[in-house]
Structure 1
Amino acid sequence: MRILFTAAPGYGLMFPIVPMVWAARAAGHEVLVATTGEMVDAGARAGLPVVDVFPGHDVWAELLRATTSQETTPELKKYLEERGLTEAFEKAPRSGGPFWLFTLTMTEGSIDAGRAFGADLVVHTTDHATGRLTAVALGVPVLEVGNRVSWSSRDGSFRIGRNFYDEDDLTAALRAHLAIPDGVPEVIARIDPRPPSMGGLVEDDVDQVDGLPWWPMRFVPFNGGSAVPEWALQRPERPRIGVTLGTVVPVMSGTSSLSVVVEALSEFDVDVVLAAKETDLADVGSLPDNVRAVGFLPLSAFLPTSSLLIHHGGSGTTAAALHYGVPQLVLPAFADNPMSAERVVDRGVGLSHDPTTVDVEMVRAAVRRLLDEPAFSDAAREVREEMATQPSPASVLERALSAFRG
């Protein structure tokens, strides 16, 4: 079996499907990951065969530029003009969903890669419409995999602006340019990675929305590989608190909340692990003695020995803390971050606060509650145990391939 995995070029958008790619390769299947940007190198470092479907462009930077000012670089402008996609580019920000530019720029390369690879099946993340269009163009079925614990298209909560399976001007333009047939691909199943007590499936084969089978799957976090430092393997004598704002929030919203958190934690008898790029710490100032700055150290390196994680509400970060049974303080930034925070609070595994109004005393009060009140750690442990009973990515993939063959 030759399986093409398609994913958008963001850590939180692609990393959640890495365990399934590994599972497919370990089972003896040929795999290829179609992405672009930083994820080409990140995927290769994860041991995956990766193809860059939009080389020579920083599509994240292009998306930010186009969303805020509808301007383009000369290179992107030329690309669109040569393909007759300029009008679709101009209309897409109003109707194409938050990742519309990924669809517009990555679909052609993904189809070409899938055709050259000889893909028998496309596995795509829910938020990456390129996978759907690629499957239609290749005439092969798809397995749609949810890559977030904050939302799912099963209950409609994934719609940050639109349903990614809706037709729009952007999709119509791509169909015309690339000669993609009308219609949608055969969908083997849609995969929901959420714990049942946080909105996920209780039973298999749920058919509640669109006449398609829905299967549950355990969210197995992948945060990147690293040499794990010796201190991270040891549970400290005092509580260990992880702090991160992810990779996108510092660029989009700044690091003012990080400064507040660091100051607030300076008074506690705790070990603080600050996972942030050096450039993100420029405005934080000198760090207290109880703070260890570790750069881009994967969460899985230190979460198993941590008592609390303070973060921005990214779905992958939220899911990693759930996987390890660690309570959370969420300072949600944008996109689906508030939905992650809402699910964390509703399930009782943590607390949340608006990062634009957060202050030192608020953080200190929340940290005291999360460390001192056992209800939070009890709930986090319950969710961890619940997730452990869900089907693994490997078993879900095997089930999908059995359905495909059958």
Structure 2
Amino acid sequence: MRVLFTSPAGTGHFTPLTPFVDACTARGDEVLAVVPPPLAQLLTERGMPFRTGAAPDPAATAAIRDRLPHASREEAAVLVNRELFGRLNTEAMLPALEEACRDWQPDLVLHDPCEYASAVVAERLGIPHAQVATSPARIEAYSLDLAAPVLACYEPQLVDRLKATPYLTRFPASLDPSPYAATRRFRDTPRPATAPAALPNEWRTDDRPLVYVTFGTVSGGMPAGAAACRTAVEALSGLPVHVLLSGGRATDLSDLGPLPDNVHVEEWVPGPDALAAASVVVCHGGSGTTYGALAAGTPLVVMPLFADQPANARLVEDSGAGLAVFPTGGPADTMGLPGPADVPRLRAAVETLLAEPSYREAAGRIATEMRTGPTVHETLAALTADAGANLWG
């Protein structure tokens, strides 16, 4: 069987697909990824066959990102989901995906829910396709509805089709009730967690709790991401904890200035190890980090910056597995930039999670639920059997 994988730029978008890439490879399927240029390095490192499509016009994407900190939350959602994912990304990736589907002729397309160009092509050519969730289902459905006016220009029934085709998610039902009719939940196969190699040796024999801080791979090159890193360092510098901060490859770490003794900064840290080793995770609420922390049973402090992050922050807080700290560096109805006013609020949230065991207990209950259900291999087998039998299309 030939299986095509595709996602928007950003490691957090492609990573949820990787268990299915590995499962396909293990059973002898041919795999191919078609991705935007920023993902080329990731796939080269994985040794996966891939083709690159085009990137949107940099000026157009920069104009969107520059508006996000000053936009209302509703306007920011439209900018990201309709204009960036729906319009610019789809327009850029459509030629490469059409070419790949016509000459490589996949039997199945698995794509990130916000990667719409592959769904457009699959619908036109009659190729079975399914979505592998990045975010909680109600957030993805909301994003799809926002993109609908643009997507209708490509295929009038595309939104309805996306709501009806298989939707594969790692998030458990208690945390994430799904509006998608064909939702299939699966569990990742956990790997043994080890202490992050990036930890200084002297920390390994110290019993102070570890706070892992990450604001993702995309936000690092944006003003909001840099401001969040500075705010977190200042907030945690006076606490009796070790702080491991993963700045991201796009972050200029020199902007952080002299670091406190309890803070260690790395450009990149393997997420599963850090998430499992930490007593608290401080993040922006990107779905990859949110899922990974909950799967490890680690409570979170979420400081959302844009996109689906505010909704993820509320999801975490409502579940009892953490706290949300919304930045106050802008007008009340905007996301704003993290800044000095947020330092004591972030510090207090971390102190609360360290002192109150109920947050770790709630995260542990979610982690237990995440370990139930079909494996990736079982989910893939059922999915491809249905595709081969043309049970959806």
Fold-level match, TM-score > 0.5? yes
CA contact (8 A) 2:90 2:115 kept: yes
Q: Secondary structure at the match of 2:238?
A: coil
Pairs within 5 Å for 1:39-188: 39-54=39-54, 57=55, 59=56, 61-65=58-62, 67=64, 96-99=82-85, 100-148=87-135, 151-152=136-137, 155=138, 158-160=141-143, 162=145, 164=147, 166=148, 168=149, 172=153, 174=154
Is the alpha carbon distance of 1:387 and 1:181 closer, same or farther for their aligned partners in structure 2, counting shifts above 3 Å? closer
The residue that corresponds to 1:374 in the other structure is 357
1:292 to 260, 264, 268: 264
The residue that corresponds to 2:297 in the other structure is 325
Alignment identity in percent?
31
Moved more, 134-143 or 311-320: 134-143
CA contact (8 A) 2:198 2:266 kept: no
The Cα shift of 1:137 comes to 3.1
The Cα shift of 1:270 comes to 1.3
Q: Secondary structure at the match of 1:258?
A: helix
The residue that corresponds to 1:242 in the other structure is 212
The Cα shift of 1:157 comes to 5.8
Code of the aligned partner of 1:316: G
Query: Which digits, 9 at most, give the CA deviation of each residue in 1:200-226, with x for residues without a partner?
Result: 46xxxxxx66xx42211236799xxxx
Is the alpha carbon distance of 1:280 and 1:161 closer, same or farther for their aligned partners in structure 2, counting shifts above 3 Å? farther
CA distance in 2, matches of 1:114, 1:35: 13
CA contact (8 A) 2:213 2:282 kept: yes
The residue that corresponds to 1:74 in the other structure is none
Say if 2:316 is the partner of 1:344.
Answer: yes
Code of the aligned partner of 1:133: V
Is the alpha carbon distance of 1:45 and 1:236 closer, same or farther for their aligned partners in structure 2, counting shifts above 3 Å? farther
Q: Name the Cα RMSD after superposition.
A: 3.3
CA distance in 2, matches of 1:302, 1:20: 23
The Cα shift of 1:49 comes to 1.4
Q: Secondary structure at the match of 1:301?
A: helix
The Cα shift of 1:141 comes to 1.0
The residue that corresponds to 1:82 in the other structure is none
Q: Secondary structure at the match of 2:111?
A: strand
1:391 to 374, 377, 383: 374
The Cα shift of 1:256 comes to 2.1
The residue that corresponds to 1:77 in the other structure is none
Query: Which digits, 9 at most, give the CA deviation of each residue in 1:124-169, with x for residues without a partner?
Result: 2211111211212332111222122xx31xx4763237355x4x45
Code of the aligned partner of 1:391: P
Moved more, 305-314 or 248-257: 248-257
The Cα shift of 1:374 comes to 0.4
Q: TM-score, normalised by structure 2?
A: 0.81
CA distance in 1, matches of 2:114, 2:187: 18
Is the alpha carbon distance of 1:181 and 1:15 closer, same or farther for their aligned partners in structure 2, counting shifts above 3 Å? closer
CA contact (8 A) 1:274 1:293 kept: yes
The residue that corresponds to 2:17 in the other structure is 17
Q: Secondary structure at the match of 1:320?
A: helix
CA contact (8 A) 2:220 2:247 kept: no
Q: TM-score, normalised by structure 1?
A: 0.79
CA contact (8 A) 1:188 1:404 kept: no
CA contact (8 A) 1:327 1:349 kept: yes
The Cα shift of 1:306 comes to 1.1
Q: Which runs of 5+ in 1 are unaligned?
A: 71-91, 202-207
Q: Secondary structure at the match of 2:145?
A: coil
The Cα shift of 1:60 comes to 7.5
Code of the aligned partner of 1:382: R
The Cα shift of 1:171 comes to 5.0
Code of the aligned partner of 1:217: F
Q: Which runs of 5+ in 2 are unaligned?
A: 68-77, 330-340
Is the alpha carbon distance of 1:120 and 1:321 closer, same or farther for their aligned partners in structure 2, counting shifts above 3 Å? same
- Greater fraction of residues in helix: 2
Moved more, 229-238 or 23-32: 229-238
